[in-house]
């Protein structure tokens, strides 16, 4: 909470502003619930007490940062570094907010100043590693990560090392680094989530689920952990629970594009094409240039067209005409041969109600069935595909008496 983060600063101000006790009472009541009201109080104090500018700016900058208003925090921390140019913590806070605001070159410059002022300022080295990771400069990130270990072995250092190894696609080393992070700090949720995602990438379903559930024991509502667990469940083809996990995320955060992308993918895998398209469309409304959503929507549209096309069955043996088959009166059984073509997987084939196996011969699907003819007047073949499109051709048996040679 913000009050905990700035409590020390507030106490520093309190001595100098003892006569303004009501100011702090109002501030403490408002800051967690109403940012604008709290900021109004701070702004009034800055006007009324210019000699307390530094202390009040620290409070306001921390408030902006905690509420995600990074540019406003940057403005305040920039002013603070002018007031206290030798305070490495202010340069770090400035760099951290610049990083969160996507201003990577500016962030690196601020953080370099922090580490020049204090060569063992570990948080600044961590954030510099994060910047290099975001720039996909994994070699430089690896060297920066080494710098952190010369200062101290911490859970964050191991986690970021895992991120470096992941970027270099060194999966086993990445898993080792994440395991090292949680060995130091059992509550380091990001390491569990990262480990779960690597396991899912490697199709290690049980490992992915186990790591994700370790994260969920720390935070049952962790969106990232729920998405990671869904991936493990999907590998096991437990799409019902996988969809439940990402649907819960979407209930919490309807604009979560990652959750919608995975749910749309799971819908595709379970032939819920219209549901998949709705999720991909929701992503594209938020991010029209989202490449994965665009590609998977195209897949869904293809599946939708394919969904409406029934299988095509061709009977190759016996000879037939107008769905009639001529057979000798004395024939006791008949061999049925045919081919099936369909853009969708075939789910079932029966001949007169009996399930018949289908063989893949080259690019074609073929079947052979032996049918006993006692009390049989027709051959009924039924083929269904994965979308439950079904064709049921019926061939009438026309019996004739064979001519005697005598």
Name the residue ranges covered by the structural domains of the chain: 312-400
User: Is 8 a residue whose pLDDT tops 50?
Assistant: no
Handedness of CA 246, 249, 250, 256 (dihedral sign): negative
Q: Between residues 400 and 240, which one has the greater pLDDT?
A: 240
Average pLDDT over residues 311-322: 86
pLDDT of residue 92: 97
List the one residue out of 80, 120, 113 whose CA is nearest residue 95. 113
User: Is 16 a residue whose pLDDT tops 50?
Assistant: no
Cβ-Cβ contacts under 8 Å for 75 (sequence gap 6 or more): none
Average pLDDT over residues 71-82: 96
Average pLDDT over residues 61-70: 89
Residues 84-142 have pLDDT tens digits of 999 999 999 999 999 999 999 999 999 999 999 999 999 999 999 999 999 999 999 99
Rounded-to-integer distance, Cα 259 and Cα 248, Å? 9
Alpha helices in 31-87 (DSSP H): 35-48, 53-66, 70-83
Rounded-to-integer distance, Cα 145 and Cα 130, Å? 9
Residues 372-388 have pLDDT tens digits of 998 889 999 999 988 78
- Proportion of the chain above pLDDT 90, given as a percent: 66
The conformation of residue 321, written as its DSSP 8-state character, comes to B
Which class does domain 312-400 fall in?
A: mainly beta
Tokens of 53: 């500018």
Tokens of 151: 């200062």
Q: Is 187 left (phi over 0), alpha (psi -120 to 50) or beta?
A: alpha
Query: 335 by DSSP, 3-state: which?
Result: strand
CA angle 252, 127, 178 (to 5 degrees): 65
Tokens of 296: 């998977």
The radius of gyration of the chain from alpha carbons, rounded to an integer in Å, stands at 34
**Could you tell me the pTM of the whole model?**
0.68
Is 197:163 a contact under the CB 8 Å cutoff?
no
User: Is 29 a residue whose pLDDT tops 70?
Assistant: no
Residues 325-359 have pLDDT tens digits of 988 888 999 999 999 987 678 889 999 999 999 99
Rounded-to-integer distance, Cα 120 and Cα 297, Å? 49
List the one residue out of 67, 121, 69, 47 whose CA is nearest residue 90. 121
Which of the residue ranges 3-12, 47-56, 68-77, 164-173 would you say has the lowest mean pLDDT? 3-12
Is 174:162 a contact under the CB 8 Å cutoff?
yes
Rounded-to-integer distance, Cα 61 and Cα 79, Å? 10
CA angle 299, 302, 303 (to 5 degrees): 85
Is 99:107 a contact under the CB 8 Å cutoff?
yes
Average pLDDT of the residues of the chain: 88
* 15 — pLDDT class (breaks 50, 70, 90): very low
User: Is 189 a residue whose pLDDT tops 80?
Assistant: yes
User: Is 172 a residue whose pLDDT tops 90?
Assistant: yes
């Amino acid at each position: 909470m913000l009050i905990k983060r700035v409590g020390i600063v507030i106490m520093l101000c309190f001595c100098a502003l003892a006569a303004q006790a009501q100011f702090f009472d109002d501030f403490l009541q408002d800051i967690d619930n109403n940012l604008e009201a709290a900021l109004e109080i701070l702004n009034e104090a800055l006007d009324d007490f210019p000699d307390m500018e530094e202390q009040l700016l620290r409070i306001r900058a921390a408030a902006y940062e905690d509420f995600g208003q990074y540019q406003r925090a940057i403005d305040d921390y920039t002013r603070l570094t002018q007031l206290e140019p030798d305070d490495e913590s202010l340069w770090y806070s400035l760099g951290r907010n610049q990083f969160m605001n996507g201003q990577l070159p500016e962030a690196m410059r601020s953080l370099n100043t922090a580490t020049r002022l204090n060569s063992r300022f570990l948080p600044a080295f961590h954030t510099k590693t994060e910047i290099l990771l975001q720039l996909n400069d994994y070699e430089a990130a690896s060297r920066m990560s080494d710098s952190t270990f010369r200062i101290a072995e911490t859970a964050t250092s191991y986690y970021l090392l895992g991120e470096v190894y992941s970027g270099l696609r060194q999966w086993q080393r990445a898993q080792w680094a994440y395991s090292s992070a949680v060995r130091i700090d059992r509550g380091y949720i990001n390491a569990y989530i990262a480990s779960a995602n690597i396991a899912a990438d490697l199709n290690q379903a049980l490992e992915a689920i186990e790591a994700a559930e370790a994260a969920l024991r720390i935070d049952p509502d962790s969106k990232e952990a729920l998405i990671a667990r869904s991936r493990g469940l999907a590998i096991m083809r437990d799409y019902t629970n996988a969809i439940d996990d990402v649907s819960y995320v979407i209930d919490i955060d309807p604009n979560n594009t990652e959750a919608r992308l995975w749910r749309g993918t799971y819908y595709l895998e379970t032939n819920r094409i219209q549901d998949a398209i709705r999720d991909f469309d929701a992503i594209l409304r938020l991010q029209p240039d989202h490449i994965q959503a665009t590609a998977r929507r195209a897949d869904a549209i293809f599946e939708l067209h394919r969904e409406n096309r029934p299988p095509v069955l061709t009977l190759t043996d016996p000879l037939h005409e107008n769905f009639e088959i001529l057979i000798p009166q004395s024939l006791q059984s008949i061999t049925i041969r045919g081919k099936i073509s369909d853009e969708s997987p075939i789910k079932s084939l029966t001949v007169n109600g009996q399930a018949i196996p289908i063989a893949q011969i080259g690019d074609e699907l073929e079947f052979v069935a032996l049918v006993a003819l006692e009390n049989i007047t027709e051959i009924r073949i039924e083929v269904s595909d994965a979308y439950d499109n079904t064709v049921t051709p019926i061939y009438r048996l026309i019996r004739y008496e064979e001519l005697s040679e005598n």
